Amino acid sequence: MNDRTRSRKASVRDVRRTNRALVIRHLLFAHETSRSSAGEATALSAATVTNLISDLIDEGAVVEQGFLESPGGRPRTVLGLNPKAAIFFGADVGETQITLEAFDLTLSRLGRRIHRFSGRRIDPQKVIDFLADGVASLIQEIAAKQSTGLANEPATEPAPRVLGLGLGVPGIVEHPTASVGLRGDEPLVHAQVVGWKAVTFTSLAERLGFPLFVDNGAKTTTQAEAWFGSAQGVEHGIVVLIGDGVGAGIITNGRLYRGSSSSAGEWGHTKISLDGIRCRCGSRGCVETFVGASAVLERWRGRDDTWVGRETAGIDALFAAFDAHEPDAAAAMSDLVDHLGLALANLVNLYNPQKIVVGGWFGDQIAEKFLEELHASVLRFSLEQPGNEVVLERSRLGHDAAALGAATLPLDHFIETGWPQ
Ligand SMILES: [Zn+2]
């Protein structure tokens, strides 16, 4: 085979792969479709769609689910992704817990495992052990549910294929798109605030025996917002996540912006004061030290609290005091809205987003109560034109979208490249 033939074959394969990805994405977001609707949505020819769908049915990824009457024509076959074809996992290392969830191909949640930890740090080995054990027990649970349920009868369904595990972690992830242990550069996790230096997850990939993908948790949550949530269809948007720590994911031209070594979005450690209090990152005056949950609580209480983990109880008390018109609580909230508005206005001036989605467990509460005040605060500090243009929105997915976001990593890999080898 000469070079030209080889490259023509390669490009035919690429086109086919791209078209296949278009059809699967359509099926994923439409839930139910028909061959003709898939053709309209993807702008592919009827013949191409028919071929691709028939391959996907042969592979078991797509099932025919009955008929739909169509006015004046033949009834159309309803198509959907096959929930029994494959499972995949999403996990997120949050501030006080690791969440592991299993999904089927229609994105129904099949099961969940949670590991809570106290203190700021968690040993990466503990993360690996929890995930390896959790995945094994979830697979067992799912297989048991999918079998007939009759004691003496063998399972009629073959065990579902596993597409992989996506893991969202704090900090900066170098080489996030590489699949751990399979090819190329390994993802390296640098999470200064939790004490992780160049942590790898190779041993987890070996224990799992299927593809593992690692990315920053704010980025995976942003991907979930872009696929299913408030940032759906947004070309230029920012998802800010506020908990005790603060992060952001930036979407430009419809894609996640990463920067040269994937650290873009570390908005929580941009500075809004020259002589502010010291941050977990070692510097001073970071956004996180003004709008992170425990920072806000410390201001309200007028003292330096020992960090005791996710302070929901403390935050609830602060909101209650605000509702009871306690002057200190009103001052703390007004201070929060001012500083958060200022920090968001910097993003508005830098990126000119159409939309900013406010999420994270604390961010969700702020957005629920103060979205209008926050928008006014952004307008006070931003340039007029981009400030007027930006829409501020509370996250539609809520604050437990982190594991779902991480699960989009193996799903995306399946859509783009096919079944894992
Ligand atoms: Zn910092």
Tens digit of each residue's pLDDT (9 = 90 or more) over 250-306: 999 999 998 988 889 999 999 999 988 899 888 999 999 999 998 899 888 875 544
DSSP for 56-73, please give it: HHHHTSEEEEEEE--TTS
Which residue is listed with tokens 């894609």?
255
Q: Distance (Å, rounded) from C-alpha 22 to C-alpha 277?
A: 49
- Ligand 1 center to 295 CA (angstroms): 12
- Ligand 1 center to 174 CA (angstroms): 19
- Ligand 1 center to 278 CA (angstroms): 8
Quote the tokens at residue 368: 């629920």
- Ligand 1 center to 285 CA (angstroms): 7
Q: Which residues crowd ion ligand 1, with CB under 5 Å?
A: 269, 279, 281, 286
- Ligand 1 center to 412 CA (angstroms): 32
- Ligand 1 center to 380 CA (angstroms): 24
Helix (H, G, I), strand (E, B) or coil at 77: strand
Quote the tokens at residue 343: 């920090």
- Ligand 1 center to 178 CA (angstroms): 27
Q: Distance (Å, rounded) from C-alpha 239 to C-alpha 260?
A: 20
- CA angle 372–374–375, rounded 5-degree value: 65
CB 411 within 8 A of CB 81: no
CB 292 within 8 A of CB 242: yes
Residue 322's closest CA among 312, 334, 310? 334
Q: Distance (Å, rounded) from C-alpha 386 to C-alpha 140?
A: 52
Quote the tokens at residue 319: 């909101």
Residue 113's closest CA among 86, 84, 142, 85? 142
Helix (H, G, I), strand (E, B) or coil at 334: helix
- Ligand 1 center to 269 CA (angstroms): 4
Mean pLDDT, all residues of the chain:
89
Residue 319's closest CA among 305, 336, 301, 333? 333
Residue 87's closest CA among 53, 61, 64? 61
- Ligand 1 center to 137 CA (angstroms): 38
Residue type, 330: A
pLDDT for position 158? 58
By CB atoms closer than 10 A (0-12, 13-18, 19+), residue 135 is: buried
Q: Distance (Å, rounded) from C-alpha 76 to C-alpha 97?
A: 47
Residue 57 reports pLDDT greater than 90: yes
pLDDT for position 70? 73
pLDDT for position 337? 98
- Ligand 1 center to 243 CA (angstroms): 14
pLDDT for position 304? 53
CB 38 within 8 A of CB 79: yes
Residue 182 reports pLDDT greater than 60: no
Helix (H, G, I), strand (E, B) or coil at 330: helix
- Ligand 1 center to 340 CA (angstroms): 15
Residue 408 reports pLDDT greater than 70: yes
Residue type, 77: T
Tens digit of each residue's pLDDT (9 = 90 or more) over 365-397: 999 999 999 999 999 999 999 999 999 999 999
Which residue is listed with tokens 């977001």?
29
Residue 308's closest CA among 318, 319, 293? 293
- Ligand 1 center to 192 CA (angstroms): 10
- Ligand 1 center to 293 CA (angstroms): 14
How much of the chain is helix, strand and coil, in % rounded to 5?
Answer: 45, 20, 30
Query: 354 CB contacts (<8 Å, ≥6 apart)?
Result: 234, 235, 236, 237, 389, 390, 391
pTM: 0.87
C-beta neighbour count of 67 within 10 angstroms: 12
pLDDT for position 310? 52
Which residue is listed with tokens 């798109």?
177
By CB atoms closer than 10 A (0-12, 13-18, 19+), residue 295 is: buried
Tens digit of each residue's pLDDT (9 = 90 or more) over 1-38: 677 777 777 788 889 999 999 999 999 999 889 999 99
Domains observed in the chain: 3-81 (1.10.10.10), 87-220+402-417 (3.30.420.40), 233-398 (3.30.420.40)
pLDDT for position 281? 86
DSSP for 9-53, please give it: HHHHHHHHHHHHHHHHHHHHHHSSB-HHHHHHHHT--HHHHHHHH
- CA angle 94–98–103, rounded 5-degree value: 110
- Ligand 1 center to 300 CA (angstroms): 20
Tens digit of each residue's pLDDT (9 = 90 or more) over 119-156: 778 899 999 999 999 999 999 999 888 775 554 555 55
Residue 71 reports pLDDT greater than 80: no
Residue 61 reports pLDDT greater than 60: yes
CB 267 within 8 A of CB 248: yes
